[in-house]
A and B are shown apart, each in its own frame.
Chain A
Amino acid sequence: MEQSISVLVTFVLVGGLVGIMVSLGRLLGPRVENPAKGEAFECGNPPSGSAWGRFSVKFYMTAIIFIVFDVEVVFLYPWAVLFERLGWFGLAEMLLFLLVLGVGLVYVWQKGALEWD
């Protein structure tokens, strides 16, 4: 209970601070519309269409590989906390798990998914 209250109070206070900052900028700043000012900044050139298009597939690859490994890292935390109680059995189990993780990493590495060029 005390724990949740501390989280909630901090969230409310920080949220309020951030909200006030954004709205203060609205209130205090001047507002002068100008067609040139409203353009997307592309170093002086008139922008050629919308930016919401396609981008390099490598970023998708990174994101997908990240999700696989990150979810596996999450499983390490409960094990790390209970490590002393689990003893050698826990270590053997986790080594098997890390072996699977390692095989996955080697596979991704060999396939060249981690190469950027």
Chain B
Amino acid sequence: MLTIVAVAAIKALIVIGMVLNLAGILGWVERKGSALIQDRIGANRAAIFGFAGAGLVNTLLADPIKFLTKEDVIPRGVDRLLHTLAPCISLFPAIVAFAAVPFGDRLVVGDLVVNLQAVELDVGVLFLLAMTSLGVYGVVLGGWASNNRLSLLGGIRGSAQMISYELAMGLAVAAVVLTFGSLDFQEIVRRQGELIGGWIPAWGILYQPLAFLLLLIAGIAETKRAPFDLPEGESEIVSGYFTEYSGIKYLMFFMTDFVEIAVVSAVVTTFFFGGWQVPFLTAQGFVFPWGGTLALPHLVVVLLQVAAYMIKVFVFCCLQVLVRWTMPRLRYDQLMWFGWKVMLPLGIGNLVVTAFVLLLVRG
């Protein structure tokens, strides 16, 4: 009993540490990436003993300290309880959703078998969908509680956008579940360790290319980033639903943004790019299709898998940063048109075609 709780706590702490550090690093990637794309010098001011680390000190140390020591302004006339609760409701489900995604295979320590997944549910996919849906409450409550027209506008814009794209996301995920026949993330990842014809890793992208595009686009819309950043829309409604936030609560909304990027990347990686799978790596070591083998100790195999997962997640995070600084913002009618009249029919069509093909192939 005690070991179960201890192991669960350690795994949860690892995942929390992973996602918070990733969020910090992504803050740096975003600022440096935007500077690179806009041909200017990005964050490079803060330094410790003359060490600026190309701006990394800024985002990892200086920013959190600054946010923490700034005044947490609560304007008159706001709903004080909801105003404080909204950033918590926003950040909590994002981190918990990331915890549901497995970051490695089983780790065997003595006679203890540890499943490298912080929330080990066999209905992990449903859990993830439930948690990502909760994110909308943070947005709508933050906008409503602020008692500010701009915040309210941002909040309802955000809620309408998130629920619209949730449909396409749900349909894309349903097609993946159909393909792998399981709601368990570990099971889905293990199925992607097989080889097609002995050579090509059976990653989900080969079976569900359309679902990958739908999930990635819907995911970017769910994180409310450009080209879907109308809820924030700096040039129209100041800062959208977090206009009235400052200090640590503002940082929490900001972190939610980055944690959600990580969640989208983790889900895309797990469903379509083999999760923690390394091509040709089995539990005993590498078995290459051209005949060679390379035996590796258990710990090395597990570390390689965890590293592969983290690298894949980071690549997709960078892709989203790139998308943000490349695309202009959509108009609201275009946003709704795209969500309801393009993504939704495509999602339904993809599901039907997948079902037909599966039955024809597998009998």
Contact = CB atoms under 8 A, between A and B. Distances in A.
B166 interface: yes
Contacts of A28: 68-69
B80 to A, nearest CB: 12
Which residue among A13, A47, A84, A88 has the maximum number of chain B CB atoms within 10 Å of its CB?
A13
B53 interface: no
Interface in A1-52: 2-3, 5-7, 9-11, 13-15, 17-19, 21-22, 24-26, 28-32, 37-43, 47, 50-52
A40 B341 CA distance: 37
Contact of B359 (A18, A26, A69, A91): A91
Contact of B147 (A14, A50, A94, A102): A50
Contact of A116 (B73, B122, B163, B337): B337
A14 B92 contact: yes
Contacts of A62: 160, 163-164, 336
A73 B146 contact: no
B346 interface: no
Contact of A25 (B12, B68, B244, B348): B68
Contacts of B359: 87-88, 91
Nearest to B96: A14
Contacts of B5: 5, 9
Q: Give the most central of A9, A17, A38: most B CB within 10 Å.
A: A9
Interface stretch (B174-182, B301-309, B311-319): B174-182
Interface of B: 4-5, 8-9, 11-13, 15-16, 67-73, 75-77, 84, 87-88, 91-92, 95-96, 99, 117-122, 125-127, 144, 146-153, 156, 159-160, 163-164, 166-167, 170-171, 174-175, 177-178, 181-183, 238, 243-244, 247-249, 251-252, 332-333, 336-337, 340-341, 344-345, 348, 351-352, 355-356, 358-359, 362
29 contacts: A2-B4, A5-B4, A5-B8, A6-B8, A13-B12, A13-B13, A18-B252, A21-B251, A25-B67, A25-B72, A25-B249, A29-B70, A39-B75, A41-B243, A50-B147, A52-B152, A59-B156, A59-B159, A63-B159, A66-B167, A76-B170, A80-B178, A80-B181, A81-B181, A83-B178, A94-B355, A105-B344, A114-B341, A115-B333
